[in-house]
Structures are given as structure tokens and as C-alpha cells.
Structure 1
Amino acid sequence: MKLLLLYAAITCLPSCYASSGDRSHIYQDCVSRCHTQSCAAGPADLPIALRLTRWTCTDDCKYQCMHLITDAAIDTGERIHQYHGKWPFWRFAGMQEPASVAFSLLNLLFHVRGAQRVRQRIPIEHPMRWYYLAFSAVSVNAWIWSSVFHTRDLPTTEKLDYFSAALAIIYALFYTIVRLFHLYPRRTPQHFRRRAHHIWATVCCVAYISHVTYLTVLPRFDYTYNMAFNLGIGMTHNVLWLLYSLPASLSLVRRFPGKPKSYRPTFASKAAVFVLLTTAATVLELFDFPPWYRTIDAHSLWHLATAPIAAFWYQFLIEDSLDDSWRTAKSE
């Protein structure tokens, strides 16, 4: 699920940070010479794939110098450096990080399939069906911008990636509260629940708009705040689903309307498994290493790991929605 983008927001180094590679005099001199020879006389004739993905002559000089220095480092057995917050990747069709692009699109595909399964399996009258379809939509949007950002890391694509990820994360918390505290519409509406739903929706909207506004008006993007915001929401989401999965003897939430707190279907454990899987996938980010064949790094592997976890989560949501307890809820 797109909540997994929380961990990307927490662990990704912002590309604007200087790294050891781009601080070196060898790199800076190389870029300066390349710019003088190739760019100063006028626009360079770049391949159409680079022009379509908004590479400039200077960008291409940085790319070429980065790989020239990396080639020399590999030949001499020296340490490989990062440049502008990123490892040296071979580009493909203008994409800076083709593996992360491919795996982001894989996540997008899993969410599209998840939405299809929700439509096919969850009855149209189910109160949570619309919420899960909306979750799929914001997740697809987030993975689209993730793939765009990994194609070209620019200030605009970076913000769109972060903001769409934050939207998916906060929406995940929104529908979790609606589901676990039974704020969804009922056939016999209760004014308290309706007001609570409206208040909660307003809180989420205001929080998201304030988050985006704050990060937009600042002269420099506040990465620390962005991490803290996403971490707080994501951890709250995970804790709530852990409460859902507690043993029947320790139940703190009433999982289904019309049933006691002690009612715990066997699939409830899957919520805890999901939390464990997302945590385990995040460990990949801790093992930051130069990309294999300048293509696969820890972050791209993290993207690869999140795709099947998303499929697992949709399966859980569908099982939860098909529990017989919902039939009792219809009569309320």
C-alpha cells in the first residue's frame, strides 16, 4: 500500500544535499571543462529521450563526469561516491534511476489490480467499499509521481512525489479511523457518528493542506519536518492496525459492529503481519550500498519489496469486508 511511501520519505536523501562526489575538485573541474567545451557555445544537440526528460547540457556534463570518475574508482579499487545525494546510476531513455522507475510502476500495477479486486469482491452496498477505492486512487497517483521523480529528480517532481505520498499516508489513516471506529455511513444514521466523520474528515483535510502550504512557502524545503510528519501519521496507522490484531483476550477495539470486542476472526492476524512486513522492508534502506551494475540499489529493492506487500494488504481488506459480521451491521 502507498503508506509504504512513508519509509521512502523518511529514508531518501534529498537530492539537493551536497555529497562527497560533487564536492570533489576533480568532479567540479570536469564539469567546468565539459560545460566550456560543450555548452558555452550554445545549446547542445542532446538525444530526444534526454530532451523529453528535460536534461540540459550541464546536466549531461554532470552525468558524464560522474561516471568517468566512477569508472576510475572501480579500476583502482577506490570508494564509489555519491553525487548530489544519489549514487551513480546508468540512465535509460532519460530515466535517472530506471530500476526505481520500473518498481514504482510495479507498485502502481498492484494497486490497480487491488482496486479491480475490491470492485469484484466487495459488495457495492458495503460501507467501506468507496473508501478502499479512493485509497487505491490516491495510491496510484502517488506511485505515478514516484516514477516521475525517479525519472528526473527536479524540484517540482520532488515536491509532487512528497506531497502525493503524504496524501496517501494521511488518507490511509483517515480510512483506518473510519473503519476501526465505525464512522462509515449506516442504513440508520447516527448523528454522533455523522458529526464525528465530518470532523475527522475536516481535520485530515486541514492537516494535509497545512502540511503542503508550509513546505511550499518556505524558502527551502524542510526535510526534517516532512519526515516527522509522515512518521507520526504512519506510526499511528500501524499502531491502530496492531490493536485490531490483538488476541481476543486483549482486544481493545470492537472490530465489527454488532459483535463483542472478543470477536476476532482468524484473518485479524494479517494486520500485524502487514506491519511486520513493512518494517522488514524498511530495513533494506538501512543497508545503503553502491548500486549493483549501477542499476539496483537498496532503495530500488525497497520499492520492489513493497509491491507484494500491497497485494497482501488488499487481500486482508477484502477478507475483512466479507466477514459475516457485516450482515449484522446492515440492520443497524
Structure 2
Amino acid sequence: MGMQEPASVLFSLFNFLAHDHGISKLKQFVPPGYKLRQYYLLFGYFGLASWTFSMIFHTRDSNITEKLDYFAAGASVMYGMYFAPIRTFRLDKPDAVDGKTGTILRLWTALCVSLYLAHIGYLSFIRFDYTYNMAANIAVGVVQNILWTWFSITRFRKVGRLWAAWPGLIVAWIILAMSLELFDFPPWWGMLDAHALWHLGTVGPTIWWYNFLIKDAQEDMQSARLKA
């Protein structure tokens, strides 16, 4: 069918559909007035872009498709890092300092955008370094995984419900799926390799993640109504 790595294309499509389904559920179950809704949806849109370019790259490997895949994946990982402290520390709410300006959120936004642009600039104009790119993405991923694990522990202690621990369990699942990349082996049937299996391993936690976002938003809104 003209695909260099059909299994990776197929599993990238599965991830794309998981994000698309998650976005639809968010729009259905999380009202527009909920402040974090825009951040949830942006997470989904970054995911759609990332898996679109993944499908293109695994269909036909070229200099352009490779860079687009790496840059889109990097943007998705960086957005995950951007979003984690916003939810964990509720940076979307007014600052405690003056109660209105949102200075911390703007500074955090500027920092994340600057880091991403610097990352892309280095890979584009200085050196396309595979080792550096992987290390940078892993470092950013580890930080957000730590944040979500801490969030799970504190949230579970607060509400005492199993769904509050889901982010920590999702992080563990993703780490196990990522470990598949360590087991390099000749592709089965010429197309199913460790990288393709890593893509397959992220479909489940993506679906689970959107279920958590919806559950968390509903709990947060209910808590706000009770306080009011």
C-alpha cells in the first residue's frame, strides 16, 4: 500500500482516533464555562497533530516528514509539560499575589514557548541531534510524570476515590509501554517492530486519560457548586 512501516501507521491512526474520540467526549461532558476545558481541548489538538505527522512519517520517511514528526511530537510532549502544573497548581485561577493578573501563568506560558522554539531552532539551524532530541523529550516527560504522580497521591488522599489515582496509573502504563523501545528486534513479518508496539501501547492510556479529565472536571465543578 506504499507504506514503509504499515504497523506504525496503523497504530498511529489508533492514537489519532483515541484523541479525536476524547475531544468529542470533552465537548459533550465538560461545559464551555469550565476554565480548564480549553487546556484539555488543546491537549487533544496537539495530540491530533502529533499523530497525523507520525502517520505521514511512517508512510514515507524523508527529511521533511522526519522533522515534522519530531517537531510535532516535541510540541505534544512540551504541551503536556505546560499543562501539568496548570492543573496541578491551578495556575488558571487568579494569582494569590494580586488576585487578578495571572502573571504566573503568562510567565509559565512564555517560558514553555521559548524552550520549545529554542529546541526547534537548535535542531533546525545548528544540528539535528537524535540523542539530544530523545534526551530532551524524556526529560520533559519525566518532569510531567512526576507532577501527575504527585497529583494522584494528593488528590486520592483528598477525595478518597479510585479515579483520583488514575494519572499515576496511566504514567506507569506509559513507562512500561515506552520500555518496549529498549527491546530492539527484527520486525515480525517485516513490519511489526518494537517502535510500532510502543505506538500501540499508548492507545489505551490515551483513552483512559480523557476519562480522567472528564471525571476530574465534573468533580471540580461539583465541589465549586457546593462551596458556592
State the TM-score, normalizing by the size of structure 1: 0.64
Letter in 2 for 1:228: A
Matching of residue 141 in structure 1 with residue 37 in structure 2: no
Residue in structure 1 matched with residue 171 of structure 2 by the alignment: 275
How far apart, CA to CA, are the structure 1 residues paired with 2:210 and 2:200? 17
Q: Secondary structure at the match of 2:202?
A: helix
Q: 1:128 to 1:326 in 2, by over 3 A?
A: farther
Tell whether the 8 Å contact from 2:6 to 2:59 is kept in structure 1 after alignment: yes
How far apart, CA to CA, are the structure 2 residues paired with 1:330 and 1:118? 22
Q: 1:132 to 1:325 in 2, by over 3 A?
A: closer
Matching of residue 160 in structure 1 with residue 68 in structure 2: yes
How far apart, CA to CA, are the structure 1 residues paired with 2:198 and 2:134? 17
Residue in structure 2 matched with residue 299 of structure 1 by the alignment: 195
Letter in 1 for 2:129: D
Distance apart, 1:331 and its partner CA: 6.8
Residue in structure 2 matched with residue 131 of structure 1 by the alignment: 39
User: RMSD over aligned Cα, in angstroms?
Assistant: 2.1
Identity %: 40
2:78 to 157, 170, 173: 170
How far apart, CA to CA, are the structure 2 residues paired with 1:331 and 1:160? 46
Tell whether the 8 Å contact from 2:170 to 2:208 is kept in structure 1 after alignment: yes
Distance apart, 1:297 and its partner CA: 1.2
Trace 1:1-332 onto structure 2 (pairs within 5 A).
Answer: 93-185=1-93, 190-191=99-100, 194-218=102-126, 220-246=127-153, 251=154, 255=155, 263-266=158-161, 267-324=163-220, 327-328=223-224
Q: 1:330 to 1:111 in 2, by over 3 A?
A: farther
Structure 2: tracts of 5 or more residues without a match: none
Residue in structure 2 matched with residue 74 of structure 1 by the alignment: none
Q: Secondary structure at the match of 2:179?
A: helix
| CA distances 1:68-126 after superposition (whole Å, capped 9, x unpaired) | xxxxxxxxxxxxxxxxxxxxxxxxx2210011011101110110000000000112111
State the TM-score, normalizing by the size of structure 2: 0.92
Structure 1: tracts of 5 or more residues without a match: 1-92, 256-260
Tell whether the 8 Å contact from 2:122 to 2:128 is kept in structure 1 after alignment: no
How far apart, CA to CA, are the structure 1 residues paired with 2:145 and 2:194? 23
| CA distances 1:249-304 after superposition (whole Å, capped 9, x unpaired) | xx4xxx5xxxxx95234111111110110011112222211111112111111111
| CA distances 1:51-82 after superposition (whole Å, capped 9, x unpaired) | xxxxxxxxxxxxxxxxxxxxxxxxxxxxxxxx
Letter in 2 for 1:165: A
The count of aligned residue pairs is 225
Q: Secondary structure at the match of 2:158?
A: coil
Tell whether the 8 Å contact from 2:34 to 2:221 is kept in structure 1 after alignment: no
Larger radius of gyration: 1
How far apart, CA to CA, are the structure 1 residues paired with 2:217 and 2:108? 22
Letter in 1 for 2:143: T
Letter in 2 for 1:191: K
